């Protein structure tokens, strides 16, 4: 029985996650969720406490779908600079990955939840902090490995790189043009070149 419940839980998330990403929390009606899943309200709320719980878990799944492929690619590299180069390469194609899914889940949910859903907004902030810290840790690793200059400010660089990524993604989504994120990747590549020890 537990296995069936887990399968249904996963099935529901797979069906409703794209809807939350495209319509946001406020724009997603219960009828959207029941229609997408083919389940009744009672069946949905048997597996999730409420719409809020479902939205947070759907958000996490949407983020996982776009971040896991990057994490997998980075696992095959031990050196920090290689990992950062892999990140640049991944985000060059990021727009094509998210365009069919309704945009970047982090930007979408942050915008939707900012002023009207503190709990959901906190979930977004946690993900952003985790991603920022991952970049900071990569730069620190590069310093430890002797690949990145010792005087590089890992915290400032990590935060700036994350801002450049999200800013490029945001502008690409707004203008429906991948050149914005591609241009940001060029700038990040140049920045990486400047801090790398050759």
- Tens digits of residue pLDDT in 102-126: 899 999 999 999 999 999 999 999 9
The CATH number of whichever domain residue 163 belongs to comes to 1.10.357.10
Query: What is the pLDDT at residue 67?
Result: 95
Instruction: Compute the half-sphere exposure of residue 163: CA atoms within 13 Å on the CB side of its CA.
Output: 6
CA separation for the pair 88, 94 (Å, rounded) = 10
Q: What would the two tokens of residue 129 be?
A: 């902090």
Total domain count, the chain? 1
Domain limits for position 165: 2-195
Task: Return the closest-CA partner of residue 71 out of 52, 97, 90, 55.
Answer: 90
Task: Return the closest-CA partner of residue 89 out of 186, 195, 198.
Answer: 186
Percentage of the chain beyond pLDDT 70 is 98
Radius of gyration of the chain (CA): 19
- Please state, in angstroms and as integers, the Cα–Cα distance from residue 120 to each residue in 10, 26, 62, 138, following that order: 20, 11, 14, 28
- Tens digits of residue pLDDT in 58-117: 999 999 999 999 999 999 999 999 999 999 999 999 999 898 888 999 999 999 999 999
Task: Return the closest-CA partner of residue 57 out of 9, 126, 1.
Answer: 9
Given a cut of 70, is residue 3 above it in pLDDT? no
């Amino acid at each position: 029985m537990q296995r069936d419940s887990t399968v249904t839980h996963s099935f529901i998330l797979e069906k409703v996650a794209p809807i939350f990403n495209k319509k946001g929390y406020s724009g997603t009606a219960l009828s959207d969720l029941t229609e997408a899943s083919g389940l009744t309200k009672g069946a949905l709320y048997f597996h999730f406490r409420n719409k809020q719980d479902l939205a947070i878990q759907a958000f996490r799944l949407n983020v996982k779908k776009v971040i896991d492929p990057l994490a997998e690619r980075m696992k095959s590299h031990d050196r920090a600079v290689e990992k950062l180069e892999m990140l640049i390469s991944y985000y060059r194609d990021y727009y094509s990955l998210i365009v069919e899914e309704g945009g970047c889940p982090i930007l979408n949910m942050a915008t939707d939840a900012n002023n009207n859903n503190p709990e959901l907004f906190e979930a977004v902030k946690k993900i952003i902090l985790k991603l920022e810290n991952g970049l900071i840790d990569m730069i620190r690793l590069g310093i430890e490995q002797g690949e990145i200059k010792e005087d590089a400010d890992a915290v400032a660089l990590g935060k700036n790189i994350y801002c450049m990524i999200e800013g490029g993604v945001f502008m690409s989504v707004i203008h429906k043009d991948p050149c914005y994120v591609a241009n940001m990747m060029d700038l990040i590549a140049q920045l990486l070149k400047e801090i790398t020890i050759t």
